[in-house]
């Protein structure tokens, strides 16, 4: 009886966690405690709920060419969820293919992964942009947003993928003082690095919050400058 209860409970747990991760059969749930992804309401960089006013969200996990545009034009719509998105797609270059598990990879050419997003209701700034990425294989290159490096790019988790490669999760953060209403993420990478999951969260944040972030940055820069200029 006890073991039947255990089976039922673990089945229910799998069902529940399946609601959070689209491809729970394909590796770990990045949102599980201790893993690398956070929802904005639980993240230090966040403080908002997905779906609330003046925010945007888009996430890809099981990539399907048929989900956006033509079924062979190397573009995919977000499959996990969206909020406040007028138009968005993930794209890849010729030579890259979608694996049977819905991830992107090629052994032969430099992989040009791009995400382009236009919001429905426009932002007026200041903005926080968070990019959470899962990649399998070697250490990936840091991404760009509208040509700009992230203010921070941090590995948040490392483990092993279902294909027995390194599984790495990262967080990239950008802060914009003024409005931005077109977002182009460049995730170009060397061959053999598989793009497995990617989530974008954007929020227009109140001025005091932005001021606090900028002040923290200035204090950090100030202390680094002092440290560097102090005699050895
Ligand atoms: Ca996944
Ligand atoms: Ca995936
Ligand atoms: Ca397509």
**Residue 220 phi/psi, 5° resolution?**
-60, -45
Ligand index nearest the alpha carbon of residue 69: 3
Q: Give the E-state strand segments of 21-60 in sequence order.
A: 55-60
Q: How far is the CA of 112 from the centre of ligand 3 (A)?
A: 15
- Model confidence at 231, in pLDDT bands (50, 70, 90)? low
CA of 8 to the centre of ligand 2 (A): 27
Token pair, residue 198, equals 């990617």
DSSP 74: S
pTM: 0.80
Q: Which ligand is nearest to the CA of 90?
A: 3
Q: What are residue 149's DSSP bridge partners?
A: 144
- Ligand in closest contact with the CA of 62: 2
Residue with more model confidence, 76 or 25 = 76
- Does residue 61 surpass a pLDDT of 70? yes
Query: Which range marks the domain in which residue 76 is found?
Result: 2-229
Instruction: Determine the Cα–Cα distance for residues 210 and 149; give it in Å rounded to an integer.
Output: 19
Please give the Cα distance from 115 to 37 (Å, whole number): 18
Q: What is the arithmetic mean of pLDDT over 135-143?
A: 95
- CA of residue 101 to ligand 1 center, whole Å: 9
pLDDT tens digits, one per residue of 192-218: 999 999 999 999 987 655 556 666 766
Instruction: Give the distance (Å) from ligand 1 centre to CA of residue 122.
Output: 30
- Extract the runs of DSSP E, i.e. beta strands, from 121-193: 127-136, 144-145, 148-149, 152-160, 166-176, 183-186
Contact 168, 160 (CB under 8 A): no
Residue 64 has pLDDT above 70, yes or no: yes
pLDDT higher than threshold 50 for residue 16: no
For residue 92, the CA-to-ligand 3 centroid distance in Å is 10
Q: From ligand 2's centre to the CA of 208, what distance in Å?
A: 37
Q: Is the predicted pLDDT of residue 228 greater than 50, yes or no?
A: yes
Domain total in the chain: 1
Taking 60 as the threshold, does the pLDDT of residue 154 lie above it? yes
Cα 14 to ligand 3 centre (Å): 30
**Residues near 32 by Cβ (< 8 Å), separated by ≥ 6?**
17
Output DSSP code: residue 88: E
pLDDT, position 212: 65
Cα 76 to ligand 3 centre (Å): 5
């Amino acid at each position: 009886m006890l073991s039947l209860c255990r089976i039922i409970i673990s089945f229910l747990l799998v069902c529940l966690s399946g609601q959070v991760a689209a491809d729970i059969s394909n590796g770990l749930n990045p949102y599980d405690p201790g893993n690398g992804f956070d929802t904005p309401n639980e993240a230090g960089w966040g403080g908002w709920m997905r779906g609330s006013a003046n925010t945007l969200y888009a996430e890809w996990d099981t990539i399907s060419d048929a989900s956006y545009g033509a079924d062979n034009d190397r573009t995919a719509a977000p499959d996990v969820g969206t909020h406040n998105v007028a138009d968005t797609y993930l794209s890849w270059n010729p030579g890259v293919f979608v694996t049977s598990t819905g991830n992107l990879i090629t052994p032969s050419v430099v992989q040009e992964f791009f995400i382009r997003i236009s919001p429905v209701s426009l932002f007026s700034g200041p903005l926080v942009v968070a990019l959470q990425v899962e990649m399998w294989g070697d250490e990936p290159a840091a991404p760009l947003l509208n040509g700009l490096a992230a203010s921070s790019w941090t590995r948040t988790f490392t483990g092993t993928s279902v294909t027995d490669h390194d599984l790495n999760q990262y967080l990239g953060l950008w802060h914009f003082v003024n409005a931005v209403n077109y977002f182009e993420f460049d995730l170009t990478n060397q061959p053999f690095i598989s793009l497995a999951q990617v989530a974008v969260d954007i929020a227009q944040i109140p001025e005091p919050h932005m001021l606090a972030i900028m002040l923290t940055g200035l204090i950090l820069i100030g202390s680094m400058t002092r440290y560097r200029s102090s005699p050895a």
